[in-house]
Structure 1
Amino acid sequence: MTSLDDKFGIWPLIEYNGWRYFPLPSMVGDVGKRLQQMKDFNSRDDDVILASCYKAGTHWIHEITSMLLNQTTEYNTKHWTSLNLQLEWPEDYKFAEAMSEQRLLQSHLPFEFLPTAHINKGAKIIYVSRNPKDRDVSMYNFLHGKIGWPDMTWNEYFDKFVLNDDIYGGWFNHAKQYIDAIKHKKANICQVLYEDMWLDPIKHTTRLADFLEVPYDDTFIKEVVKKCSFHELKNKKIDITVTIHPEGKSTLFRKGNIHPEGKSTLFRKGNIQLQYIQRESLHCSEKVIYIQRESLHCSEKENSVTGKTGLRSRRMNSLMHYIEKK
């Protein structure tokens, strides 16, 4: 019987300092050197960095941000431009350096690897976060069946990636670093929660426009939200990941749902294990509670005024109560 580790001979992940990375062209060589190059990247004053874990809503928020920055409701068709502006993707930064227009940069890596110059000058950073359970299910469905990716069951994926949580710095480490940077004002960061944007896209697209300091009116915001709905993106946005699907299918924008307490059927069997890992990965329950509450900061304020508790707030509060009891 072929073991799961043997399967990964098809597309081996790169291990470095306790974390695992996808074998991007830039990462195949000296990973440490590449990470340092990211930190040394020559950021401009008007650069915007979109930071997130994989499958946290990156492409969704990227499209919204691109429309706001470019003052248009037309989709961004410069797909390879986007890849070349992902800080860990290209082998060098010649493409980015040659650009004369404003740059929307991206990274899936933790805060510690963002360009030092960008942080020090207070340039804008958008941090996109999402319920880790929904993110893990989305990641599994996205990778499943892709060219070069080993065929594995959900249980195999859960054990190797969800419980290990070591891809690109891991979700918990990633979240801790960005939330800590926000709390201690280490950088100019606007946090966008996937669930908030899903529940009230008008409000949070407007908040994003205010952060980016771009002009807008109600009509423009509504049109951006309409064009960037999952239905529209799924049917009209060109998806470059079709190149790694054996049948050339688009799977980048799938459902865009949020599940109460992450209750996807895939998680029922391993839910207790994940709750345990959520505490252990952050070393103590107080840190878990802090991250969940910090993420809910705006929603809790709104609830105190409206007297209502949204779906996302109920889900996250349920998770906090579980942790506090432990």
Structure 2
Amino acid sequence: MEDIEKFLFKFKGYYFNRLPLDIGFIENLDNFEIRENDVFIITYPKSGTIWFQQLLSLIYSEDHRKGAGKLETMDRVPFLEYNFRKMDFEERPSPRLFSTHLPYYLVPSGLKNKKAKIIYVYRNPKDVMCSYFHFAKNVVSQFTGTFEEFVKQFLEGRVMGSLWFDHIKGWYEHRSLFNIQFMTYEEMKKDLRGSVSKICKFLGKGLSEEDMDAVVRQATFENMKDDPLANYDNIIAIGYGLNVKGHFLRKGTIGDWKNHLTVEQNERFDQIFQREMKDFPLEFIWDVNED
């Protein structure tokens, strides 16, 4: 089993990635000043974070839509807790766009005034787990064990982001504290244009048909994978070296878990899911053919 303490930092019951973390910033995060027009994407790792960063930056940036901007997605929609670029967030012009994996109880208290907007994107956890396995093994090289060992670690919450079940349930059960919209990774895959319209309505952003076409075209998984400003390959090279085998953007499909889980692993996962998510009202799509 991996020596997770080497790579993870536990703070108030939640596991952070140790490498890019400013612990002093995290300890004072509750007091981070929120502006009324801030927008936050909140995800559990491997649930469409980079895709949604690209969507938000396309919706808010005309330069990005027209292909004139040279900023990477990481610079347009930076992580709050992982400040890779050492930005001064207070100097950023409004509206500020952020992404985060934080649980509900660690976000700045200013988000509870319901003025800043939050979009929580979730994905079926079997695909999350399989995507996470490849990411941990081939991109950040923090895991060298078998898939079975990773399944156990994931289901125990001994990964960056901690336990998936706690993350989504915590945000949903405390949704009344925030101005929050829940969306699924799978609905975005099945109807990207409809999803962009839904996002724009929540954000109060009106786009022309031409701008909508540009957002949808540039935010397809295939286009993002080939776009060095969007695919995080530069971040990988800087943070983890040039010899990394994997990519942040791997397949982006629905139902890839069927290529990984054995019958026994799948049954075990289902039992845990049914126990943990009993009476949970949000719906999940497990297969590309599901409605």
TM-score when normalising by structure 2: 0.84
Correspondence for 1:294: 282
Q: Which amino acid aligns with 1:252?
A: F
Correspondence for 1:197: 188
CA deviation digits over 1:93-142, x for unaligned, max 9? Answer: 86101112421011101111122112214211011100000011111111
Identify which of 67, 71, 75 aligns with 1:77. Answer: 71
Distance in 1 between residues matched to 2:139 and 2:48, nearest whole Å: 19
Distance in 2 between residues matched to 1:217 and 1:117, nearest whole Å: 32
CA deviation digits over 1:293-324, x for unaligned, max 9? Answer: 3346xx9xxxxxxxxxx8344xxxxxxxxxxx
Distance in 1 between residues matched to 2:82 and 2:270, nearest whole Å: 32
Q: Which amino acid aligns with 2:21?
A: S
User: In 1, are the aligned partners of 2:46 and 2:128 still within 8 Å (CA)?
Assistant: yes
Q: Which amino acid aligns with 2:282?
A: E
Distance in 2 between residues matched to 1:225 and 1:165, nearest whole Å: 34
Correspondence for 2:44: 53
Correspondence for 1:236: 227
CA separation of 1:220/1:204 partners in 2, compared to 1, >3 Å: closer, same or farther? same
Correspondence for 1:13: 8
Correspondence for 2:137: 144
Correspondence for 1:277: 272
User: In 2, are the aligned partners of 1:49 and 1:124 still within 8 Å (CA)?
Assistant: yes
User: In 2, are the aligned partners of 1:129 and 1:191 still within 8 Å (CA)?
Assistant: yes
- Cα displacement (A) at 1:246: 4.7
CA deviation digits over 1:185-220, x for unaligned, max 9? Answer: 321111121000000111011110111111212332
Q: Which amino acid aligns with 2:90?
A: E
Q: 5 Å matches for 1:1-326?
A: 4-6=1-3, 8=4, 11-26=6-21, 29=23, 34-71=25-62, 72-73=64-65, 74=67, 77-79=71-73, 81=75, 85-90=78-83, 95-146=88-139, 148-160=141-153, 162-167=154-159, 168-182=161-175, 185-238=176-229, 239=232, 240-243=235-238, 244=240, 246-248=242-244, 251-259=247-255, 262-280=257-275, 282=276, 288-291=277-280, 293-295=281-283, 311-313=289-291
Tell me: higher relative CO, structure 1 or 2? Use CA pairs within 8 A at least 6 residues apart: 2
CA deviation digits over 1:159-189, x for unaligned, max 9? Answer: 22x221243242111111222233xx32111
Distance in 1 between residues matched to 2:170 and 2:149, nearest whole Å: 28
Distance in 2 between residues matched to 1:312 and 1:24, nearest whole Å: 39
CA separation of 1:250/1:118 partners in 2, compared to 1, >3 Å: closer, same or farther? same
- Measured on the aligned residues, the alpha-carbon RMSD in Å equals 2.9
Match of 2:121, SS?
strand
- Cα displacement (A) at 1:21: 2.5
**Number of residues of Structure 1 aligned to a counterpart in Structure 2:** 281
Match of 2:177, SS?
coil
Match of 2:28, SS?
helix
Which structure 1 segments of 5+ residues have no match? 283-287, 300-309, 314-326
Which structure 2 segments of 5+ residues have no match? none
- Cα displacement (A) at 1:15: 3.2
Indicate the structure with greater helix content: 1
Correspondence for 1:285: none
CA separation of 1:207/1:76 partners in 2, compared to 1, >3 Å: closer, same or farther? farther
Which of structures 1 and 2 has the bigger CA Rg?
1
- Cα displacement (A) at 1:252: 1.3
- Cα displacement (A) at 1:24: 3.6
